[in-house]
Amino acid sequence: MRVKDKIAMFIGGGSDIATATAVKFIGEGATVILVDYDESVFERVKGSYAGMEDKVRKYVADARSYEGIEAAVKSALDEFGRIDILINCAGILIHKPIDVLTVKEWQDVIDINLTGIFNSCKAVTPGMKERKYGRIVNISSIGGRTGRPGVGVNYAAAKAGIVGLTQTLARELAPWNITANVVAPGPLKGRMFFGMEQHLIDGLIKNIPLGRVGEMDEIAYAILYLASDEAGWTTGEVLDVNGGAYI
């Protein structure tokens, strides 16, 4: 029971990574709060929480809106009195060459993938400081760690920005016993993966030393570690989980 009795908020709560991780958290004793931009997102994943409904809360809020995220945080504090863990999973992909990418497509990815993380970290910080406890885990990507074929500059910039934001946040919040860390996944078996043609899948695998694409559970376990008290002396770190593709 590595997160027993903890309250964990997931921004981008309908994502594949959030779903896999939240189910693990519930199994390890936590109550989870899922935050996403539309109620329909929760409908898509509700089957994953069959029999666990009493351990799940769902709030609708757009990560791009500080006011919306702040309201979701306030609702959680009103109900539970605290948020122990924040997991930032919200993100979108628009992979195009820079000469094709529009200014709006640049901004949309920055707004969700980077500004959204700023919004949620800012919103939970006062409560975590007051309690002198917190675990923040932000999801970056191999696309923000090194230049990758097919990764747009918008996505790479946002995901790299998450690393800088988190490392600075770790220093700022350390005096209050709040840790901030990053998990940077490589290619995963998510909804996008299963829609890919086989030759594209083969191309992905060719560049992964361990010879396969990652499972969502393998990212979930990495997040669980950083969110637990086992990682209480780990902050400002980036955990690359990518089958060796970063080598």
What percent of the chain has a predicted confidence (pLDDT) above 70? 98
Average pLDDT, integer, range 79-95: 95
In 3D space, the residue among 184, 180, 161, 164 whose CA is nearest the CA of residue 246 turns out to be: 184
Burial of 126 per CB tally in 10 Å (0-12, 13-18, 19+): exposed
Inform me whether the pLDDT recorded for 189 exceeds 80.
yes
Is-catalytic flag, 155? yes
Average pLDDT over the chain reads 94
Distance of alpha carbon 107 from its chain centroid, rounded?
19
Whole-number pLDDT of residue 175: 98
Average pLDDT, integer, range 94-99: 91
> When comparing pLDDT for 65 and 207, which is higher?
65
Whole-number pLDDT of residue 243: 95
Inform me whether the pLDDT recorded for 54 exceeds 90.
yes
Q: Where are the alpha helices (DSSP H) in 83-238?
A: 103-110, 116-131, 153-173, 191-194, 198-206, 216-227
Query: Given pLDDT bands bounded at 50, 70 and 90, which one contains residue 247?
Result: low
Whole-number pLDDT of residue 194: 74
Whole-number pLDDT of residue 207: 86
Q: CA 131, 136, 10 angle in degrees (round to 5)? A: 105
Average pLDDT, integer, range 113-142: 98
Task: Determine whether domain 7-241 maps to CATH 3.40.50.300.
Answer: no
Sheet with 56-60: strands ordered across: 56-60, 31-36, 7-11, 85-88, 134-139, 178-185, 238-241
φ/ψ region of 132 (left if φ > 0, alpha if ψ in -120 to 50, else beta) reads left
The active-site residue out of 37, 59, 133, 155 is 155
Query: Given pLDDT bands bounded at 50, 70 and 90, which one contains residue 200?
Result: confident
Say which residues have a Cβ less than 8 Å from residue 43's Cβ, sequence separation at least 6.
none
The single-letter code of the amino acid at 59 is Y
SS3 state at 181: strand
Whole-number pLDDT of residue 192: 67
SS3 state at 34: strand
Give me the sign of the Cα torsion angle 82, 125, 48, 6. negative
Whole-number pLDDT of residue 9: 98
Whole-number pLDDT of residue 197: 78
Whole-number pLDDT of residue 191: 77
